[in-house]
Amino acid sequence: MVNKCKIINLPKITDPRGNLTFIEGGKHIDFDIKRVYYLYDVPGGAERGGHAHKELQQLIIAIAGSFDIVLDDGYKKKRFHLNRSYYGLYICPMVWRELENFSSGSVCMVLASILYDESDYYRDYEDFLMSVRS
């Protein structure tokens, strides 16, 4: 599963007035965007994530600043460093994620394939492991 998660290089229109990046659902990412949320004002040393999802697919973008995402499918772990507004990390279902090392002023934007649904979460790592290994 971790091998299906990858950095997507998004379009970048460079312009002396400022650069522009856009994302079209079903084109730059394989899913239709049902929800957008963002993390900001993250205090130094804080960690986010700490869960996996049954169905949810996501594209995570460091809109400002940088942070690390550690993905874990129960067998293999992979660390990604996001530090460009035109890179998106695609995360497929059934992957545990931890977000850490947020730089000051960073903003993490998430495009999500389904609406918020607490029953889609694995919040307990042991439950997640049992589920992927069964």
The reply on whether position 22 binds ligand TYD by CB under 6 A is: no
Q: Which of 22, 38, 40, 116 binds ligand TYD (CB under 6 A)?
A: 116
* 56 lines the binding site for ligand TYD (CB under 6 A): no
Q: Classify residue 33 by its DSSP letter.
A: -
User: What are the beta bridge partners of residue 62?
Assistant: 108
Distance CA 89, CA 43 (A): 22
Q: Of the two residues 48 and 81, which places its CB atom closer to ligand TYD in the complex?
A: 48
Its sign, for the CA torsion 33, 7, 83, 23, is negative
Catalytic positions are: 51
User: What are residue 22's phi and psi, to 5 degrees?
Assistant: -135, 160
Task: Write out the two tokens for 115.
Answer: 């609406």
Residue 93 near ligand TYD by CB under 6 A: no
Q: Which amino acid is at 22?
A: F
Shorter beta-carbon distance to ligand TYD: residue 37 or 75: 37
Report how many residues bind ligand TYD under the rule CB under 6 A.
7
Place of tokens 């035109």: 86
Which residue in 48, 54, 78, 81 binds ligand TYD (CB under 6 A)? 48
* 91 binds ligand TYD, rule: CB under 6 A: no
Q: Is 43 helix (H, G, I), strand (E, B) or coil?
A: coil
Q: Does 39 bind ligand TYD (CB under 6 A)?
A: yes
What does the binding site for ligand TYD look like in residue numbers (CB under 6 A)?
35, 37, 39, 48-49, 51, 116
